[in-house]
Structure 1
């Protein structure tokens, strides 16, 4: 995929003071008053809490579980939105918008569906000081908002397929520990809702969308994912089946659902009476899908690539792909300073002409070292330095954020070399994350091997009989006693199926389920999860 061009997002002149558990500041931190105080390996939870604030991704809000997405984070969502929106429009999907509120009657139309969301539904019960005649739910998802109108709009096979998507927010009143991007009470997403005449069409779309979700993670965010099908216990409430892309966070040993594409079958169309006249004049219920992808993906990206210096953002989604920092010495005269500024402007123009998002940081109230740390904290993929010696040699120094590697490039070659290097950074970030993921998935066949892998904070690929009662038993048996603090509780939480991978290892005849001893039907990916 090509790198996306666009205007960079304005930034504040200084980062906020670090919060959280402090550790002695190093020399560089003392000089710049920037930097992380928690380490990714030492205290992952505290590191993540700090990095999303210090990198100006979010600000906390006075409603628990809700966060402000600052421009540096929203720019990433824009890149995802722009790419995915273009791709689904190629498929014939159209954008629409449906209301935020749902009547109780509509919400409860599909019993399994509402039971799946009941604990998370937020209700509006008052208008000013007056009680509403009937409470209104704030959408946790929009099936029950949209499908009464699908019933009105779909009359004939000529009205199919109907393929709509909306970019919106939803509210799910989570009671678990809130985590920016990962688990919040309000988040942004896209939700697609489609209807077809046949199951074959619906099945094909489910997997097409799943491939697009995998592409967002792997091609844009440089995060490897496993494509699979959810177990009956973990599938979307009311769906025929659910497909998913699953990511894994090695530092916590926990899987995380990255995006889901559901085949709803005819369940909702029967509940909402979405019928159409077929070509032969008979009546049939539509086959439906729904699919969604959220801002959780940004948190997965931060957790995957971030380091002790801050976030590391892949070039394809970063608001600023290259930051150009002139380094005028105090000994330089006005003429030399003007020449450096002119050269920086020429390089900036050449890079923008090449389609890149570029920022020149020529602020004269900060030292070069402060600027280096400022942009490293924010994860800008590539830094271009232009100092007095570079001016004499006719070169610029390029420094990679992901590896720290530097190289000197002649001015005439910068516009050609930088796009190549950004592509290399993008592919190297994915390759590194993929190699790490591969070491974190263990293939086992016994309960003892399963538990040992969990203790190593790994995901486990194990043969399974595909029975819900066995999955529940695994979760119970793999959970330890709750500790005194959150980290201890997370370390002892039970494991569940993350997915049944679409790419299955060979399952020899006679293979037994690792947990029950019954004949195995497939390989399932298990793990603790967010």
Structure 2
């Protein structure tokens, strides 16, 4: 299974692309820029969905669904919003096909032109705020705490499976509030939800921060984000939460009567994560043998592989495997017993290593005689012999240990790739030689930010929310600065 997988140290991009395919996660489709998420890949996404969705509902949110199509006029109502997405929009202009007169196939019927073009949603703020206008009349209708799981289209020219595709899956939360502070609190709450999910489920440490004005979501007052570091030293934006102020309420005339009967504009937020998290999960933890999955997101947490020759009696092995499988399932642990006789145990070992199954149990005739099993963990590749009677409780603890170890490894890597610099020469040297997060002073101007980006291809990933006040000088302009920001080259 692992044959042909490039070493990530030699060609990280090719390693990633091949791993996505060989681990059976996704593949390119016949539609340029779009992907097919295969069953195993989708089962990981479903685990992510389930965990995040529960966190949303635990914080009072409900799911709904809004149209795929957005009237063009809606996008025109919020100037920054339309400018931010105009170059990525797919546009529907006609609603009917007809047979070509020369019999060559079907053609667009020129008589079926839409009166107003429809945009395939790049995001749903406009269509949702137009809807909220009819939902909101008074303070009694607030807050509205809504999320939708959907697909969106952003016409990307250079694509990579999971990380950047023309169509992708995501969730987008859209909330409406009576006060500015409520909306800000909501924005930060959802940022914290994303950070908790990334760290506790994905085992991926993140920095929480605020985007600079030039990196802000189109139409937002402030954009908060979580930034993660991949194993090639590049940053990846893993989630965003936007304080929209009253911008969209103003654009769509969404007002409410407060307790005194005075009309005021509603305050809004939006927030989202996408299947880009799948790319982050792969790149944060995996190795040259394949995928490494944190147990909390592994569709199969334990696989049991029997070892016996064809034609050899295997009743004792099956009995032992069934007993262990039932014991683990009683604890809520997902288990697969692979007793197929079409592939050798060695082939199965390689397959499950490639797919990142956290724990593998092997049982052979000698194990049955000795009352033991062999347990192998995917993260460290360590093997041990464990009593068959105690293996269920052993694996319960082992899965916790693996989850914690994967996080620690990622956190230690991030720490080793986080560097504080005080000069532009040092900044450029660290980016070229070491990569990772570079903590440096910045003068707060868009001009300096753009110059650094042009010269180094590094961007300001965020201004950390917990950044301490510290007097210094901008590494580029020498002007005063009161805190360090996070620079990195990024996906």
**TM-score, normalised on structure 1?**
0.88
Q: 1:339 to 1:116 in 2, by over 3 A?
A: same
- In the other structure, the counterpart of 1:425 is 402
List per-residue Cα deviations over 1:27-47 (Å, max 9, x = no partner).
Answer: xxxxxx653431111111111
CA deviation after TM superposition for structure 1 residue 151, in Å: 1.1
**Contact 1:36 / 1:309 at 8 angstroms: preserved in 2?**
no
**Contact 1:465 / 1:522 at 8 angstroms: preserved in 2?**
no
CA deviation after TM superposition for structure 1 residue 361, in Å: 0.7
**Contact 1:35 / 1:373 at 8 angstroms: preserved in 2?**
no
- In the other structure, the counterpart of 1:521 is 482
CA deviation after TM superposition for structure 1 residue 212, in Å: 1.1
- In the other structure, the counterpart of 1:188 is 169
DSSP 3-state at the match of 2:214: coil
CA deviation after TM superposition for structure 1 residue 502, in Å: 1.3
DSSP 3-state at the match of 2:184: helix
Q: Distance in 2 between matches of 1:338 and 1:250?
A: 45
Are residue 464 (structure 1) and residue 446 (structure 2) matched?
no
Are residue 156 (structure 1) and residue 134 (structure 2) matched?
no
Are residue 118 (structure 1) and residue 96 (structure 2) matched?
no
Q: Distance in 1 between matches of 2:52 and 2:345?
A: 38
**Contact 1:75 / 1:317 at 8 angstroms: preserved in 2?**
no
- In the other structure, the counterpart of 1:27 is none
Q: 1:230 aligns with which of 201, 207, 211?
A: 211
CA deviation after TM superposition for structure 1 residue 329, in Å: 3.8
Q: Distance in 2 between matches of 1:205 and 1:406?
A: 46
**Contact 2:2 / 2:350 at 8 angstroms: preserved in 1?**
yes
List per-residue Cα deviations over 1:175-197 (Å, max 9, x = no partner).
Answer: 2x211000111111000000111
CA deviation after TM superposition for structure 1 residue 515, in Å: 1.2
Q: 1:210 aligns with which of 180, 184, 191?
A: 191
CA deviation after TM superposition for structure 1 residue 506, in Å: 4.5
CA deviation after TM superposition for structure 1 residue 217, in Å: 1.3
Q: Distance in 1 between matches of 2:425 and 2:44?
A: 42
Pairwise CA RMSD of aligned residues? 1.3
Q: 1:360 aligns with which of 337, 340, 358?
A: 337
**Contact 1:36 / 1:51 at 8 angstroms: preserved in 2?**
no
Are residue 501 (structure 1) and residue 464 (structure 2) matched?
yes
CA deviation after TM superposition for structure 1 residue 260, in Å: 0.1
List per-residue Cα deviations over 1:187-229 (Å, max 9, x = no partner).
Answer: 1100000011111111111111111111221111111111100
Within 5 Å, which residues of 2 pair with 1:317-356? 317-329=297-309, 332=312, 334=313, 337-356=314-333
List per-residue Cα deviations over 1:124-157 (Å, max 9, x = no partner).
Answer: 1222223323221000000011101111111100
Are residue 301 (structure 1) and residue 264 (structure 2) matched?
no
- In the other structure, the counterpart of 1:25 is none
DSSP 3-state at the match of 2:81: helix
CA deviation after TM superposition for structure 1 residue 331, in Å: 8.1
CA deviation after TM superposition for structure 1 residue 439, in Å: 1.1
Q: 1:92 aligns with which of 33, 57, 60?
A: 60
CA deviation after TM superposition for structure 1 residue 522, in Å: 2.3
Q: 1:278 aligns with which of 249, 258, 262?
A: 258
- In the other structure, the counterpart of 1:250 is 231
Are residue 412 (structure 1) and residue 392 (structure 2) matched?
no
DSSP 3-state at the match of 1:117: helix
**Contact 2:442 / 2:474 at 8 angstroms: preserved in 1?**
yes
Q: Distance in 2 between matches of 1:430 and 1:139?
A: 35
List per-residue Cα deviations over 1:12-56 (Å, max 9, x = no partner).
Answer: xxxxxxxxxxxxxxxxxxxxx653431111111111111000110
DSSP 3-state at the match of 1:319: coil
DSSP 3-state at the match of 1:313: coil
**Contact 1:220 / 1:314 at 8 angstroms: preserved in 2?**
yes
Are residue 475 (structure 1) and residue 443 (structure 2) matched?
no
DSSP 3-state at the match of 1:74: helix
Q: Distance in 2 between matches of 1:459 and 1:81?
A: 29
Structure 2: stretches of 5+ with no match in the other structure: 98-107
- In the other structure, the counterpart of 1:16 is none
**Contact 1:187 / 1:295 at 8 angstroms: preserved in 2?**
yes
Q: 1:477 to 1:34 in 2, by over 3 A?
A: closer
Q: Distance in 1 between matches of 2:354 and 2:48?
A: 22
Moved more, 82-91 or 313-322: 82-91
Residues matched between the structures, number: 476
Moved more, 178-187 or 58-67: 58-67
Are residue 401 (structure 1) and residue 400 (structure 2) matched?
no
Q: 2:51 aligns with which of 64, 70, 83?
A: 83
CA deviation after TM superposition for structure 1 residue 468, in Å: 1.1
**TM-score, normalised on structure 2?**
0.95
Q: Distance in 2 between matches of 1:424 and 1:338?
A: 32
List per-residue Cα deviations over 1:207-257 (Å, max 9, x = no partner).
Answer: 111111112211111111111000011010110100000112231x32111
CA deviation after TM superposition for structure 1 residue 477, in Å: 2.5
Q: Distance in 1 between matches of 2:386 and 2:265?
A: 63
Q: Distance in 1 between matches of 2:173 and 2:162?
A: 21
Within 5 Å, which residues of 2 pair with 1:431-446? 431-446=408-423
Q: Distance in 1 between matches of 2:280 and 2:401?
A: 21
DSSP 3-state at the match of 1:526: strand
